[in-house]
Amino acid sequence: MGTMSESMVYKGLKETFESSPEEEIEDYKKVKWIIFSDLHKGQGDGADDFKVCKPAYHAALGYYLAAGYTLILLGDVEEFWESFPKKVFKEYQDTFELEKKFTNVNGEERYLRIWGNHDDLWRWKRNVNKYGKKLMGESKALDEGKKFIINYKGKKIVIFLAHGHQGTLESDRFRKLSRFIVRVIWRNFQRITRIPSTTPAKDFKLKKEHERVMYSWVKKDMKDTNMVFICGHTHRPVFISEAHEDDIISKINEKNKELQEAKDEEQKKLIQEKIYNLYAELEWVKSKSNSETSGMPGTPLPCFFNTGCCSFGDGDITGLEIADGEIRLVRWPDDNGNPKKKTIRTLELDKIFNDLLERNS
């Protein structure tokens, strides 16, 4: 992820925001997006974090292609810090072919890619000319970010998409040195130990701090833009500026209040069972994030979302759907391991947009 200073992250994100192309959305309730990030496709060896997640990712793409969604990939799709491009392309030729189907669906392009720090070779047109058209149908260098503009109640709402590494030292400013260290040292260690990258062994406190800084940038530094920022990079799902575990804790508190007010014994038993299940879910989620919560200050403003990743060590992937006037945090596969999605959280876009406008009124 990277060492950071708040001012450098602010600066890096703002520069990306200002240089990113923008597109106007005429009717946000007709949007159908699935946003994934951080696949880290490798070369199929012990250092390849995507390998175990490939079945879930393919199942998800099959669903979203048939259902008419646009596929948005927010960077670190390939792991070029650890693996050379040709080896990645050879290992995941079928995955690239499946992704490429979104580039031309009955003459309609339903595909958008943003580059991240681990797949930043796509920022250069020469690399796109060499590899991109065959793999992605792309013929131009990828952008570092994208802005979508929505006219809502006479005001401008901006949905800003970027990877989220901007401004950190090893992921942005010193990425060439970091790439060398990862390729030469970490990859060989990972091959021997089989330790996946997305585990509690990573610096969770740094992830938490980075999330806080990015949230603060949107809420304070970019206050006047009415922005919703969607990113990846930290590998941890964040929904309406809350990490998943924070949301579960809120639900437990709500259920405990219901339990205190319940008078019927049968109703109490049902509520108590829901509380037990929420505690089970909380410990399951915390086991993936080193038993800590995000600690966002105050009541979070719904302006910051993180897709999570497609490289969890247990084969799960998470992403964000925007469809039917809602944003949804989803996980593949479902609780039973079937090739179906589980919707973890849902919120209406109207609620988000109104909260942003009320904050600035």
Backbone angles phi, psi at 301, to 5 degrees: -80, 135
Which pLDDT score, from 0 to 100, does residue 75 have? 95
pLDDT at residue number 260: 92
- Distance CA(158)–CA(152), nearest Å, equals 10
Angle between helices 54-66 and 93-100 (to 10 degrees): 20
Cβ neighbours for 248, distance < 8 A, ≥ 6 positions apart: 278, 281, 282, 285
Cβ neighbours for 238, distance < 8 A, ≥ 6 positions apart: 211, 244, 294, 304, 305, 306
Dist. CA 143–CA 140, nearest whole Å: 9
Domains by residue range for the chain, with CATH? 6-241+296-359 (3.60.21.10), 248-293 (no CATH)
Crossing angle of the two packed helices 6-19 and 204-216, in degrees rounded to 10 = 60
pLDDT at 291: 41
Answer for the pair 140, 98: CB distance below 8 angstroms, yes or no: no
What pTM, to 2 d.p., does this model score?
Answer: 0.80
* pLDDT digit string (tens) for the chain, length 361 residues: 445 578 899 999 999 999 999 999 999 999 999 999 999 999 999 889 999 999 999 999 999 999 999 999 999 999 998 899 999 999 999 999 999 999 999 999 999 999 999 999 998 888 888 888 777 776 678 899 999 999 999 999 999 999 999 886 554 444 455 455 544 454 455 455 555 554 433 444 556 788 889 999 999 888 889 999 999 999 988 887 666 677 788 789 889 999 999 989 999 999 999 999 999 988 877 765 544 444 455 567 899 999 999 999 889 999 999 999 999 999 999 988 999 999 989 999 999 999 999 987 7
Answer for the pair 301, 356: CB distance below 8 angstroms, yes or no: yes
Angle of helix 265-286 relative to helix 244-261, nearest 10 degrees? 160
In a 3-state reduction of DSSP, which class is residue 50? coil
SS3 assignment, position 276? helix
